[in-house]
Amino acid sequence: MSSDERLPLAPLVAYSAPALGLGAMFFLVNLYLLKFSTDVLLVAPAVMGVLFGISRIWDAVADPLAGYFSDRTHSRFGRRRPWILASLAPTLASFWMLWSPPSEIPEPLLVTWIAVAIFGFYTAVTIFSVPHTALGAELSTRYDDRNRIFGARQLAFNAGAFLAVGAMSWLIQSPAPRETAQEIAVLACLLMLPTILWCVAGLRERTEYQGRGATNPFAAVRDVWQNPHARLLLFVIFIEHLGSATISILTPYVSEYAILTPEKTALYIALFMIGSTISLPVWVRLATRYGKKELWLGSMVLEGASFGAMFLAGPGEWILIASLSFAGGVASGCGATIGQSIKADVIDYDEWKTGERKEGIYFAAWSFVFKGSGAVTMLITGVVLQAVGFVPNVPQTDEVKLAIRALFALFPLACFAIGIVIMLRFSLGRAEHERLRSEIDARG
């Protein structure tokens, strides 16, 4: 397929398929692992926060390595698919470990088990997601077709997230959450297995991109930092996800302890995901008419306002939380789709400047700050909850409830406000991208 052709449906579906299983696993970990660990396994929240925080330090090494070696891989199967296939076994094993710790073991051994599982899971996700997102940027160089590619990927990811919400609801209502968690882990692994195999078997990669990765990993990282568009996105992604991660981390706490509606926890998350999912084709269509930057800025305004207004909700006011969750979800669909498309355009700027194709190292950098911001939010949440005297499974003090509401609403509001100010400086639009692509193609 030439670079100016629209990607056909069959490879588009094959590419998007693994995001279904990834969404189910990744969202369930971010959505409920912290609460499952504190309320069911009875691990101290600060301990879990530290584990998540340290795992992100490892990502500072793992993500760039995965990106660099993926860029440099040369095989008859391409640069990306061997890594996607290699991620399968560690992903399944580590996810099962997260939800199946042995019962009645001493706390130090339990913490060790969870630590190994967390590090293993995020490492496996890196081995998969960095080459997979890099592959998405390679499938087409068309400015608008990239919106469609990453929109389809996000649609599959959101479908998996819906499954995670259902799994969370099942866990909340289960009289035996440990056993239920093990059953969910097995089902998720059975979902992930065929989707990865389908992706590897159903796609072909561009042979002309092989051998065009950076020859020096430190030079590759330097190129990312020296790319002004990429550097700006690093800050925007970190700040934006620092705030948006609260919807998955803190919704169970807000619902149970502040709004006093634990039975509606899954509803809030589901409405957020419904809003995000149904908005995806709308954002893709709007991007052909309006600029990607302008759409992303508008979505950040809406998402930040939706989170901030949640601070006004008091006990029992579930309709307000539900409505704002839906509005925030609609806004989040833009960043998940158009934001990814913008990243692919930024990589073209690097090709114009260096002559190299190193999608892996670029998506590794963005993946690191994305996961790192979520871990920072978990770390802050765990430390703050313990500092204000949070005790699981009992009514909370006014101080604890205020801390939970502030972390859930005011913290993301501030983050999105900062992200908007930074994103205003982004300058790589349609006209500039088309000029760069024309010059790159002219070089042959």
Question: At residue 60, does pLDDT exceed 80?
Answer: no
User: Global pTM?
Assistant: 0.77
Beta strands in 130-184 (DSSP E): none
Average the pLDDT over 404-420 and give the result: 92
pLDDT in tens, 343-373: 889 999 999 999 888 888 998 888 788 877 8
Please name each of the domains of the chain with its CATH number.
14-443 (1.20.1250.20)
Residues 6+ apart with CB under 8 A from 154: 19, 276, 280, 333, 336, 337, 340
Q: Classify 106 in phi/psi space as left (phi over 0), alpha (psi -120 to 50) or beta.
A: beta
Question: At residue 13, does pLDDT exceed 90?
Answer: yes
CA-to-CA distance for 99 and 178, rounded, in angstroms?
8
More reliable by pLDDT, 269 or 90: 90
Average the pLDDT over 103-109 and give the result: 87
pLDDT in tens, 234-263: 999 888 888 888 777 788 888 989 899 988
CA-to-CA distance for 43 and 38, rounded, in angstroms?
5
Whether 172 contacts 265, CB under 8 Å: yes
- Of 118, 416, 425, 26, whose CA–CA distance to 241 is shortest? 416
pLDDT band at 444 (very low <50, low <70, confident <90, very high): low
More reliable by pLDDT, 336 or 153: 153
The pLDDT of residue 2 is 45
CA-to-CA distance for 359 and 344, rounded, in angstroms?
8
Local structure of residue 289 (DSSP, 8 states): T
pLDDT band at 181 (very low <50, low <70, confident <90, very high): very high
The pLDDT of residue 1 is 44
pLDDT in tens, 257-289: 989 998 888 888 889 989 989 998 999 889 888
The pLDDT of residue 275 is 93
DSSP 3-state of 5: coil
pLDDT in tens, 193-220: 999 999 999 888 887 787 777 788 888 8
